[in-house]
Structure 1
Amino acid sequence: MNLHAIRAIYLFEMARAWRTIAQSLIAPVISTSLYFVVFGAAIGHRINEVGGISYGAFIVPGLVMLSLLTHSISNASFGIYFPRFSGTIYEVLSAPVSHLEILVSYVGAAATKSLILGVIIMATATFFVPLRIDHPLWMLLFLVLTCVTFSLFGFIIGIWADGFEKLQLVPLLIVTPLTFLGGSFYSIDMLPAFWQKVTLLNPVVYLISGFRWSFYSIADVSVVVSLVMTLAFLVACLIIVLWMFRTGYRLKP
């Protein structure tokens, strides 16, 4: 394992985040704070509690997941797409660095940035709502798994995309709607029976449900099922990335 190469690429990607800190951290925190103000204040007066939890506190895990999913994808996709766009990816591929080391570097940096953002958002939430974490280890596990899994997914998008507009295509048209419809702002028990079954086809439901359980010990689906679904998506993304490296899909001319 070439630790020097991993460290070099990792630090380069992290340095890019600090250079664009307003876009990477400040803007997402402000946007999430507005969600607390709008949903917590406006809708919170109409919905007092969900599962015995105040509505403002109930939506915190969903808002954290919304930010983690979108920014994990965007961080990883841009991180690998820009070297492809500029042509510097060929220098990395020709260097004595394995595919696994490249993957660990880029995905590790993207996941780290998303993890920092998630912690900051949760800290910000304490200024708006009373927040408690019943299962901190499970919360950390879901937090890390989500960051890594969707950074891998973003890495796939960054290799697949052949233009800057495609980098935002999947997050805006697929991931964000699935997150909003995945129980970020409500419990799926509040839906009619038919739509409850349909909602279970949404993979984001399992992420949000497991993450919310780690806070308040309430969940729409079993926490074990949530963990298994998250790990399954992680393995699927890893297999696709390894296939892309092995075949040189859009990485080699």
Structure 2
Amino acid sequence: MNFQAVKAIYLFEMARTWRTIWQSIVSPVVSTSLYFVVFGSAIGSRIETVEGVSYGAFIVPGLIMLTLLTQSISNASFGIYFPKFTGTIFEILSAPVSFFEVVIGYVGAAATKALMIGLIILLTATLFVDIRIAHPLWMVGFLVLTAISFSLLGFIIGIWADSFEKLQLVPLLVVTPLVFLGGAFYSISMLPEAWQSVALANPVVYLISGFRWSFFEVSDVPVGISLAMVGLFLALCLGVIWWIFKTGYQLKK
């Protein structure tokens, strides 16, 4: 493996974060803090507990997951789309670097940024509510796997997109609604029985449920199923990226 190439891509992408720190880090943290003020204070004052957990603390895993998913996709999609837009992707394709090394560099940087923001939001949440993490290793594991999986999805979107508008299409119109409908701010058990079955068709439910279990040991679905869903999604994204580089889909447009 060409570690020097992976390092070069990774450091270049991480350097872009520090050049746009207000947009990359400060803005998501401020936005999440507003969620705590609105949902934690306004709504939380009317809802005492959810499954034995205070409402303010209950929504923390959902808020972290919302930011983690959207930031992973946005960072990875822009990271690979910009070389396509400027034409520098031809330099990458002609360099003695395998597609695996290219993916590690871009996806690794995007996942690192998303994890940084997720951890900062977790620290910010402690200023608003008391949080206990029952299984810290599981929590970190879910964070890392989810960040990598959705960074891979963002990488796919960046290759597929042929305009800046398309880069925002999936995060805004697909991922964000799925998170809001996936139990980020409520438990699936609070829904009518018929709607619970519908909600379980939402893949984000399994991500949020497993992540919340690592905090409070409460979940809407068994944690093993949540972990399996993350692994399945990760494998699917890897398969799609392998096909893209094998066929050259959208890489030279």
1:111 aligns with 2:93: no
- RMSD in angstroms over aligned alpha carbons? 0.5
Q: Distance in 2 between matches of 1:79 and 1:242?
A: 18
| Cα deviation 1:157-210 (Å, max 9, x = unaligned) | 000001000000011110000000000000000000000000000000000000
Pairwise CA distance, 1:110: 0.2
Q: Which amino acid aligns with 2:107?
A: V
SS in 1 for 2:105: helix
SS for the counterpart of 1:168 is helix
Equivalent residue number for residue 225 of structure 2: 225
Return 5+ residue gaps in structure 1 as ranges: none
Alpha-carbon distance in structure 2 between the residues aligned to 1:42 and 1:123: 21
Structure 2 alignment gaps of length 5 or more: none
Mapping of 1:148-187 within 5 angstroms? Answer: 148-187=148-187
Q: Which residue of 2 aligns with 1:242?
A: 242
Q: What letter corresponds to residue 134 of structure 2 in structure 1?
A: D
Partner residue of 1:62?
A: 62
Q: SS of the counterpart of 2:131?
A: coil
* C-alpha distance after superposition, 1:98-143 (max 9, x if no partner): 0000000000000000010010000000000001100001000000
| 1:66 CA displacement | 0.2
* Correspondence for 2:88: 88
Match of 2:76 in 1: 76
When normalised by structure 1's length, the TM-score is 0.99
Q: What is the deviation of 1:45?
A: 1.0
Seq. identity, %? 70
Match of 1:19 in 2: 19
Output the CA distance in 1 between the equivalents of 2:34 and 2:172.
Answer: 19
- What residue identity is the alignment partner of 1:113? K
With normalisation by structure 2, the TM-score equals 0.99
Amino acid at match of 1:129: V
Structure 1 segments (4+ residues) deviating >6 Å: none
Aligned to 1:40: 40
Count of residues in Structure 1 that have an aligned counterpart in Structure 2: 253
Mapped partners of 2:122, 2:41: distance in 1:
18
